[in-house]
Structure 1
Amino acid sequence: MKTCLVVDDSKVIRKVARHILETLDFTVEEAGDGQEAMTACLSEVPDVILLDWNMPVMSGIEFLRELGHTTLPRRPKVVFCTTENDTAHIRAAIDAGADEYVMKPFDRDTLESKLQLVGVA
């Protein structure tokens, strides 16, 4: 079964994402900020990370940059999931290593298509 780490400071978003991902046969772990996500990745590398941009402690973009400097056995796919939709934010996310970008609010079909684009669905 494929694994997904949902990283968002909103419990509601994590719950919605978990529900959608579980219907797509993913095992889901959650983190409330980028630091928790880094700890989780160092413990066990997920297949894909659904990553929020704006979070306390360590933002999504900071997490993504740090992830690029780690020596994980393999690199998880990263889908940025945020309300930031301007070109500058999208470019920054891709430049930092994001594989895909999805806007909040998202639904099952949108998330599934993004996961297919990165090769994990």
Structure 2
Amino acid sequence: MRHKTGKVVEEWHQLVVTSKPVDIVLPTRVGETPFNLDEQGRHRCPLKHVAGLNRLSELWLKRAGNDGSDWMRTRQLIGVRRGVLRPEEQLLISPRLYRLLLALKARRFEVELAHWV
């Protein structure tokens, strides 16, 4: 991998989220499209490991699973297993970490609102 200066970057860093996973709950909408919520469960795991193909709304999360960490992940995965594609967890940050990133003028990240119930 090359840095913007053209030098080869020797170090690799990978985020490992060690907090307890949090559960996705209703009214989060997951489905194939906004008009097809996959009522037949074609893209859902019967054991509820995979919530569905696409997240169609903001995340709603069960507050009881929050252990106060700044980095969190969802227990349920979203996506499809097809070739090299794999369902993935949703990565979450705390408001405290969000404010820190803003104060440090961090770039190249996007956030969406999530709700606790």
TM-score norm. by structure 1 comes to 0.26
Q: Which has the higher contact order (CA 8 A, sep 6+)?
A: 2
Q: Name the larger-Rg structure.
A: 2
TM-score norm. by structure 2 comes to 0.27
